[in-house]
């Protein structure tokens, strides 16, 4: 019996990506399409080190920055720093890069 590719990510600790994880339907997208680092965009492959960052449930601290991203080994940092970076990225896309998120404004 094989283990679910999703079974070891909720610990919040770094893990080595398996072949099954690299192609799993993270976020509902087939072929591992959304299994990427939220900070540099790296698409995880078998053998990479990845870590899941829990951001949901943080109240005001994490509001509007997106839920529970993965981070690669090169971008990893303490949670507070990662959340700070996400907030800066969000602010940039709300202002300077507004064009790329314009359609999401229709749903607010
Ligand atoms: Zn990265």
44 occurs within a structural domain: yes
Compute CA distances 50 → 12, 38, 78, whole Å: 10, 11, 14
How far is 65 from 62, CA to CA, in rounded Å?
6
Residue 72 CA to ligand 1 center (angstroms) comes to 4
83 occurs within a structural domain: yes
How far is 26 from 33, CA to CA, in rounded Å?
8
How far is 18 from 24, CA to CA, in rounded Å?
10
Write the pLDDT tens digit of every residue in 51-78. Answer: 999 887 667 777 777 788 999 999 999 9
Residue 36 CA to ligand 1 center (angstroms) comes to 8
Residue 40 CA to ligand 1 center (angstroms) comes to 4
**Average pLDDT across the chain, whole number:** 86
Into how many domains does the chain fold? 1
1 occurs within a structural domain: no
What is the C-alpha end-to-end distance of the chain, expressed in Å?
44
Domain residues for the domain of 84 are 9-107
Residue 99 CA to ligand 1 center (angstroms) comes to 24
Write the pLDDT tens digit of every residue in 86-95. Answer: 989 988 988 9
């Amino acid at each position: 019996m094989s283990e679910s590719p999703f079974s070891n990510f909720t610990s919040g600790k770094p893990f080595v990506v398996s072949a099954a994880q690299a192609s799993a339907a993270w976020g509902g997208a087939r072929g591992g399409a959304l299994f990427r680092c939220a900070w540099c965009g790296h698409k995880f492959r078998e053998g990479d080190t990845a870590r899941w960052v829990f951001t949901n449930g943080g109240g005001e601290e994490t509001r509007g920055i997106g839920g529970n991203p993965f981070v690669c080994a090169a971008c990893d940092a303490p949670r507070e720093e990662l959340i700070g970076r996400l907030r800066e990225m969000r602010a940039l896309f709300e202002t300077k890069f507004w064009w790329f998120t314009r359609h999401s404004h229709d749903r607010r």
